[in-house]
Structure 1
Amino acid sequence: MLVSFLQNIMAWSALYLPTILFIWIFRAQLARFKINPEETPADLKLKELRRTVTSLSILAFWDTLVLAPHVTSTPLPEVVSPIRFLVYVFLFLWSDLHFYTIHRALHHPIWYSKIHKVHHESINPNPLSGLSFHPIEGLIYFSALLIVFLVPLSPIEYTAYKFGLVWAPLGGHIGYTTYDVTKNKLEPRKFEHYVHHIKFNNNFGAGLFPDGWVWDQFLGTVWPEDKPILRQGSSSSSSNNNKTK
């Protein structure tokens, strides 16, 4: 289990730490691309880091006690056939549906107050917010890996899929967009998960598709594009979030 935990830490560090360092070095140049101009308090960042380590520990639990015996018995396909490619597409679709389903369920008042509220302490998301979960939410989030009992994966394929789940939250929590937010209207499609952190009852999906959030659009939970999203500070966002609940 320790080996798996260290592997997960290294995978997280390989993407998140360079991103954090890049943002810190170029913070002045990137300021106009930052969705919320306020900085996340240092004490909250420390909490997020501790929760991230806990989430990666939970992932090691899945690896060692539940999944590893099954995965190691599956050989790596010699050739990536068209059928195998469809398996990868299925995993992509499964991840999107799994995240939407568990995320929306965690917004039920009972589960939100006991579990998911921890993640929503990060009103102004930053890279450390991505895996900042309550332990039970971490267990549920990485339960997407149980798909290996339906779709056998080789150790290499499983590791790639697992690391994908570790890296996926970064995009939605990075806190920056690709255009100057000081000069343009903030469009919901540009940073859907940021909208979720301040509006609460919209944009539950993982946003893995380039044209927006498929499940949110299909089930009517996407934030309407004709409603403006203000460039809010932490205090105003917190007030708005509390009202929505």
Structure 2
Amino acid sequence: MDDLKFGVRNKRGDWTPNKPVEYAPLFQFPTRFMAILKWLPHYFLPWNVIFAISAVAYWAWVIPSVETMQTISVGWVAWLYGVNAVCVFLFYGAFELHLYVLKRQENRFKYNGKFPADQKSKAFWFESQNLDNILRTFLSGVTIWTALEVGMLWAYANGYAPWLSFAENPWTLALVALVVPVIHEFHFFCVHRLIHTPFLYKWVHSVHHNSVNPSPWSSLSMHPVEHLLYFGTVFYHLVLPSNPIIMLYQLHYAGFGAIPGHVGFDKVEVGDDKLVDSHAYAHYLHHKYFEVNYGDALIPLDRWFGTWHDGSPEGDARMQERYKRRKEKLAAKKASSETQEAAR
């Protein structure tokens, strides 16, 4: 597959798509109904359908009975952790094996031409990005994921969360399921802005940003506090009229859904002539520039708050202008403080 039909590669080997990132037309005004209809299949396929199916599969074959979940015990908690760990290993590992171990598409469609395994850094445990990311994923990420999953299932089993049945409330639950990605986007943006404040960035979020060149295992490589905040998106279902399956969908959207944004490739080659879009470029730019694209591209929150970067030269100019204004503001504040100090 010739990736230069879709983008350009610089001298360092970094690939950039020809088209800038665009927001989903869902929240664009005036409303463009035909654009929404054309975009709608991308809202479901392929990722959201995969996460929804995984939630249904969990409920059918993994989640214990309601009677069992009424009491928290080591047995079923350990069972859920084991299943989550195996599923993460298989799902994340499949991308890692295909793209980074076997390198089946070499560096085609890869944003950063270098591979993390080729570079040592003291920012990571054992100076290895992959080993650091894997350990953080399983020691903290899957553990906190499972803990919140257990807590929510216990709440449903004991009547502390609103549990609607699909038979009696099909349209209400369909609507809630439909807005799961919207809930995730809103929550992720708010949490992400929070952990970019200086104190939390230094002690919490910097762990994730050590992976400037993200790969699949970077997806859940976070500080435990960030894991708790990130997976906290599931708590919305303590107040929403929902269902345990939709709650699991919300959790899987966060857990398994972290992969597309960190896969490091714009497109994944499937067979000889099929491509699957990762929609990762917006978040890759966040890892590259740090202070842009706190959300993804579903809700235009970054545009509303002035932190949007679409990957175009114009987007880069807006970012540099924002940095310039901030430096000028800080310089003026410093000069004012020095003047006041001298006056004393």
TM band (smaller chain): 0.7 to 0.9
Where does residue 58 of structure 1 map in the other structure? Answer: 144
Contact 1:119-1:134 at 8 Å conserved across structures: yes
**Structure 2: unaligned runs, 5 residues or longer:** 1-76, 121-127, 269-278, 317-344
1:38 aligns with 2:107: no
- The alpha-carbon deviation at position 71 of structure 1 amounts to 2.4
- The alpha-carbon deviation at position 228 of structure 1 amounts to 7.3
- The alpha-carbon deviation at position 154 of structure 1 amounts to 2.8
Partner amino acid, structure 2, of 1:12: V
1:20 aligns with 2:96: yes
1:49 aligns with 2:138: no
- Following the alignment from structure 2 to structure 1, what is the Cα–Cα distance between the partners of residues 147 and 155? 14
Alignment of 1:1-245 (within 5 A): 1-24=77-100, 27=103, 29-41=105-117, 43-53=128-138, 54-64=140-150, 66-72=151-157, 73=159, 74=163, 76-78=165-167, 81-178=170-267, 191-207=281-297, 209=298, 214-223=300-309, 225-227=312-314
Contact 2:204-2:223 at 8 Å conserved across structures: yes
Query: SS of the residue aligned with 1:27?
Result: coil
Contact 1:71-1:148 at 8 Å conserved across structures: no
Under a length normalisation based on structure 1, what TM-score does the superposition of the two structures give?
0.79
- Runs of 4+ aligned structure 1 residues displaced above 6 Å come to none
Partner amino acid, structure 1, of 2:148: W
Contact 1:71-1:158 at 8 Å conserved across structures: no
Identity %: 25
- The alpha-carbon deviation at position 227 of structure 1 amounts to 4.2
Distance 1:15 1:110, change over 3 A: same
CA RMSD of aligned residues (A): 2.4
- Following the alignment from structure 2 to structure 1, what is the Cα–Cα distance between the partners of residues 231 and 198? 22
Partner amino acid, structure 2, of 1:97: F
| 1:23-53 deviation line (CA, Å, top 9, x unaligned) | 1465253312111111113711100001111
Deviates further, 19-28 or 131-140: 19-28
- The alpha-carbon deviation at position 75 of structure 1 amounts to 5.3
Distance 1:116 1:87, change over 3 A: same
Distance 1:193 1:117, change over 3 A: same
- The alpha-carbon deviation at position 92 of structure 1 amounts to 2.2
Contact 1:76-1:156 at 8 Å conserved across structures: no
- Following the alignment from structure 1 to structure 2, what is the Cα–Cα distance between the partners of residues 3 and 16? 20
- The alpha-carbon deviation at position 142 of structure 1 amounts to 0.6
- Following the alignment from structure 1 to structure 2, what is the Cα–Cα distance between the partners of residues 28 and 17? 14
- Following the alignment from structure 2 to structure 1, what is the Cα–Cα distance between the partners of residues 266 and 100? 16
Larger radius of gyration: 2
- The alpha-carbon deviation at position 219 of structure 1 amounts to 1.6
- The alpha-carbon deviation at position 6 of structure 1 amounts to 1.4
Deviates further, 128-137 or 25-34: 25-34
Under a length normalisation based on structure 2, what TM-score does the superposition of the two structures give?
0.58
Partner amino acid, structure 2, of 1:117: S
Query: SS of the residue aligned with 1:86?
Result: helix
Aligned length: 216
**Structure 1: unaligned runs, 5 residues or longer:** 180-188, 230-245
